[in-house]
Amino acid sequence: MSRQTVLTMNIINFINRFPDESSCIEFVRQKRSQAGIVCKRCNCTRHYWLANKKAFQCTSCSFRTSIRSGTVMENSNLPIRTWLLAMTFITATKKGFSASELQRQLGMKRYEPVFRMYHKLRKVMGKRDDLYSLEDMVEYDEAFVGKATKKPHKLKRGRGSQKRSTVAVMAESTVLEDLETGKSDKSCRYFKMKKIKNLEAKTAQRLVKEFIDPNSVLQTDMNTTFSDLSNCIDVHVKEISGTEKGHFNLKRAHIAISNLKKHLQTYHMISERMMQNYLDEFCYKLNRRYFGQNLFDRLIIAAIYPYWHDCG
C-alpha cells in the first residue's frame, strides 16, 4: 500500500470522525476527562465541565482550566481541528513528514505556524518517552548525524566536524535463541536517542543514571567514554566493536543508527538546536511501530498529558 493511499484513507476517516470544530472539542474533552485534569492552582483532580465556557472548573478552588490549557495546544490560535488533522498526517506513516509537506497537506498559507506546531508535537513525543526508563539488557552506542551549519573558513573532519551532531543511542534488547538451530538473535522493544555535546565519560554517566534502570545489564564497546560506569549500572559488558561478539552486543543500536540516518534524509538543514526534536519523533514512532492506526490516539494522550505537573 503506497504512502499516498494511506494518507487518503486516513483523511477520509478523519472527515467522518471529526466533521467540525465542535466534534474535535468534544473528543479532546473526553480524552482529558479520562486522563484526569490537574488544577494549576491547588493540584486538585476533581473537575466538572462548563459547556458554555469550554473549560473545566475545579471543585475545590473554582479555578478554570480551558480545553487547551496544559496541553500541546496551549497558547495556539490554530483550530483544534487543525491540530488533530496534523496529528493524523504525522502518524499516518512510519516515515517522517517535512514541515513544508505538512503545510501543503493542511492547505495552510503560512509556513511558520505549521513549523511551530510540528515541533511542539515532537517535543511532547519526547516528553512522553522520557516518562519511561530502559531496563533488563540495554545497548549503548554513539552516532554522528548530519546537521546544518554555517560554513567557517576551515571545516574539521571526523568526530569534531561542525557538520555532525553527536547522538547517544540506547536500545533495550533481549537475546533470543532458536531451539532448532541453536543460533542467537536479538529482539528490541524500546529505544532512546539523545543529542550530546561531547563524548566525555561524565556525559555517558549522566545519561545512564537518567534513562536506564540501575539493575540492568549495559552493553557497550571499549570506548573510553564508557570507562567508569560501575556506580551507575549493575552489570557492564564491554566488547571491542570490530569483533563478532561486539557487533552482536550492539546489533539493535547499530540498526537503529542506520535507520535514523535514512530517516533524517527526509528533512533539509536540521539545526543543532532542533536536532533533539527530530530524534524524539523518530524514537516515538519506532517505540510504537506495531500500533498501526492506534498511533493517532496514543499521540493524543501524549499531547494532553500535564507534563508541567510532573516537573513541578
Which of 124-128, 154-158, 246-250 is the most confident on average? 124-128
**pLDDT tens per residue across span 250-271:** 999 999 999 999 999 888 789 9
Cell numbers that stand for 153 in this block: 573558513
Strand order in the sheet with 47-50: 47-50, 55-58, 64-66
Mean pLDDT, residues 25-30? 97
Q: Which residues pair with 65 in a beta bridge?
A: 56
**pLDDT tens per residue across span 198-216:** 999 999 999 999 999 999 9
Cα–Cα distance, 69 to 71 (Å, whole number): 6
Residue 286 identity (one-letter amino acid): L
User: Which pLDDT value is given to residue 277?
Assistant: 97
- Say how many C-beta atoms besides its own lie within 10 A of residue 12's C-beta: 10
Mean pLDDT, residues 120-126? 97
More confident residue, 104 or 185: 104
Cell numbers that stand for 173 in this block: 534488547
User: Which pLDDT value is given to residue 8?
Assistant: 66
- pLDDT band for position 149 (cuts 50, 70, 90): low
- pLDDT band for position 159 (cuts 50, 70, 90): low
- The predicted model scores a pTM of 0.90
Mean pLDDT, residues 270-297? 94
For residue 93, pLDDT over 60 is answered with: yes
Residue in 113, 68, 116 with CA at minimum distance from that of residue 306:
68
Mean pLDDT, residues 181-202? 91
- pLDDT band for position 71 (cuts 50, 70, 90): very high
Beta strands in the chain (DSSP E): 47-50, 55-58, 64-66, 137-146, 164-177, 184-196, 217-220, 235-238
Residue 166: helix, strand or coil by DSSP? strand
**How far from 90 is each of 3, 11, 54, 156, 181, CA to CA, in Å?**
12, 12, 27, 36, 41
Average pLDDT for the chain: 90
User: Which pLDDT value is given to residue 312?
Assistant: 42
Beta strands in 32-163 (DSSP E): 47-50, 55-58, 64-66, 137-146
- pLDDT band for position 157 (cuts 50, 70, 90): low
For residue 52, pLDDT over 80 is answered with: yes
Mean pLDDT, residues 106-111? 95
- The domains located in the chain, with CATH, are 11-130+293-304 (no CATH), 137-276 (3.30.420)
